Amino acid sequence: MCRARKSNRWHTIERAPLLRRLYLLSLKSKAFLQGVVGKPSLLLGGLGLGILAQGQLTPRPALEIGALSILSTLFLLSLTLERRKAWLSPRQLLIKALFFFFPLTIGLWCRTLPSLLPSLPLYATSALLFLLALEGEGGNLQEEEPFSRYEFVLLALIVALGFLLLAYDLENIPPGFHGDEGESGMQALKILQDQIPSLISVGWYHQPILAFAWQAATMKIFGDTVFGLRMSSVIVGTLTLIPLYFLTRLLFGKRVALLATLLLSISHWHIAFNRIGINYTQTTLLEVTAFYFLFKGLRSKNILYFMASGLAVGMGFYLYYASRFVPFIIAAFILLGILLERGFWAHYRCGFVALFLAAALIFAPMAFYFLEHPHQFISRTQSVFLFSNLNRPELSPGTTQPLPAFLIQAERMLLLFNHGHDRGGQYGYQGAMLDFLSATFFVLGLAYMALHWREPRHLFLLLWFWLTLIVGGMLTLPAPFTPRLAGIIPLPFILAGLALEKTRGVLAQAWGQGRLARLTLTTFMILVFSVAGFINYRTYFVEYINGVQGWAQREAATVVAKYIRSLGDDYEVYLLGAPKLYLRHGTIRFIARRYKGYDLLDPEGYIPLQERVDRNVAYIILPHRLDQLPLLLRYYPRATLRSFTRSTGEIRFMALEVDKGEIWKVQERFTRGLAPD
């Protein structure tokens, strides 16, 4: 079939003289670039343009200068190492230098333009040079490499590093405790307190009750606190590194697996989502596990692996909504496999049938429940589906037509990884979801995968990426809402790891196995991961937690909840926070837990208090209600006024603590018809 296609294409070119000339010119150009310019020069030039393209999207001048300096040093070193293997004439050296430095000069000029648009041609040229350098580096998947003790030690170190980054000071980082964390914790508490009549039912936001069972388990072990709740995500995030390693190893070998797993473990995106006590990343663990067993089954043809994949798929219907899309990714892969490869279905049909039967068996109890309550299954989808909500404020004003609305969504989603602006409040980071270096290698890895899309492993990963991005992102509001993309969090790092390993492979092949070449490559890889680790650490543990990105970081709910808890049982609470904050907020209900309080929607009757109280009273006043503070001070001048501010001096809220004796005195004066003191 392949020969026939090639022959037909050549006959078409022969019948069109212009096409024939262009085709021959492209072949000569490719031969010149690969033969005279050389793969190392093409590769390093492509990386340089990628750095400049990423700099256009997320400007980091110091990092760009440093990266370009390192690439220039590698280029000069490459010339030295190449001359050791074969003599290079001055003309050849000049050509190599021109093809390395001239595109970078153009790229530097593009960096002076204020728009993001120059990043497109820069990345396109970068990908083209990168792919030319990798010509002939593809090939079919080889037999799985044997495991070694050294490999397990490295994996254990990466997993330990990942756990430390997730568990460090978990109670206080992030400092904001999101309302959805609180609601998840309250559902878990109901399970622990036997307040759930049936586990085959739904709870908060119509999520299956079992979606909160893991949080209940960790709260049982570590305590029903913020720490105990968040440990559920820490453990899931740490465990995700293990099937990710084995999946990537199965697809691309152990080097790519180690690189991808390390990149994910230090990623601020991965760290952020696995330090909040919400069940989003259970989807990540489930998807990676399901796909590992799927490819293990395809490799071994062992039906048990297909069944294990099906069990993971079926369990997804008991978790966060994003897990429900996994069977459609697998179904799309099977359909394209049938269309593109003769005998594909006949070869694997028993395994695929076993997979879907296992998934159906696990899902069956919940399926019967949803058949009786269909609205609960689709309620969330209806509320966020783009074409059902074209008048939502998340879109540009006046955008009510489907196509313009979809294009706006697509632009926002495509910029998420390399430019940023998460519109979800759970993380809400406004920068790129990938660090500078991972973002650069991610684009190059995506280009490489697109070029080799006919290989099943590449086709599957492309389907995983694009279907999730379209269905979970472009077709939902608001976009980008990163929790719906939890399933593909590891995927950009697989692509980045693949591109990084291809880079190492090309340079190693060109430079040989000499001591200087090995030392240079080792130093280069250490630099890449050191810089990536530093950027990710600074992004999350410095910039994010000390900023006001994300709802939990912006709103005062966490500080208010901790203040209410500190009051103990001696106080009643009156909150002047509407319409921005209410006492029923999930954060307050989980952290403060047992308190007596009221929302003061209308201060009349509560300023001053007219009913008899048997506790002290704390009025909590948010900034937009501070106009009522003078009235409170007029009636309770001896009360204690406390101010809670950010490090910048901005007021988060104020609290007026009034002794019950003071309240009784004011009530007595009112009873006698006297004015306040």
State pLDDT tens for residues 81-114.
Answer: 777 666 567 777 888 888 888 888 888 888 888 8
Same domain, 377 and 453: yes
Same domain, 542 and 562: no
Question: Is residue 1 situated within a structural domain?
Answer: no
Nearest to 536 by CA among 272, 285, 277: 272
Same domain, 607 and 645: yes
The last residue of a domain, from among 70, 101, 133: 133
Same domain, 539 and 589: no
Work out the average pLDDT over 158-165: 98
Q: How far apart are CA 169 and CA 155, in angstroms?
A: 24
The last residue of a domain, from among 69, 99, 133: 133
Question: Is residue 608 situated within a structural domain?
Answer: yes
Instruction: Calculate the average pLDDT of the chain.
Output: 90
Question: Is residue 235 situated within a structural domain?
Answer: yes
Is the model's pLDDT at 35 over the cut of 70? no
Question: Is residue 6 situated within a structural domain?
Answer: no
Nearest to 640 by CA among 655, 626, 651: 655
Same domain, 380 and 508: yes
pLDDT tens for 386-418 read 888 777 766 665 567 888 889 889 999 999 999
pLDDT tens for 604-660 read 767 888 888 899 999 999 999 999 999 999 999 999 999 999 988 899 999 999 999
Quote the tokens at residue 383: 């509320």
DSSP class of 539: I
DSSP annotation string for 242-306? HHHHHHHHHHH-HHHHHHHHHHHHT-HHHHHHTTSSSTHHHHHHHHHHHHHHHHHHHHH--HHHH
Same domain, 540 and 657: no
Q: How far apart are CA 598 and CA 620, in angstroms?
A: 10
pLDDT value of position 207? 96
pLDDT value of position 168? 97
**Domain enclosing residue 321, as ranges:** 176-551
Q: Is 467 exposed, middle or buried (0-12, 13-18, 19+ CB in 10 A)?
A: middle
Question: Is residue 441 situated within a structural domain?
Answer: yes
Residue 620 has phi, psi (to 5 degrees) of -110, 120
Amino acid in position 157? L
Same domain, 373 and 444: yes
The last residue of a domain, from among 534, 551, 568: 551
Quote the tokens at residue 238: 């740490």
Q: How far apart are CA 328 and CA 525, in angstroms?
A: 37
Q: How many domains does the chain have?
A: 3
pLDDT tens for 37-86 read 788 888 999 999 999 999 999 999 999 999 999 999 999 888 887 776 66
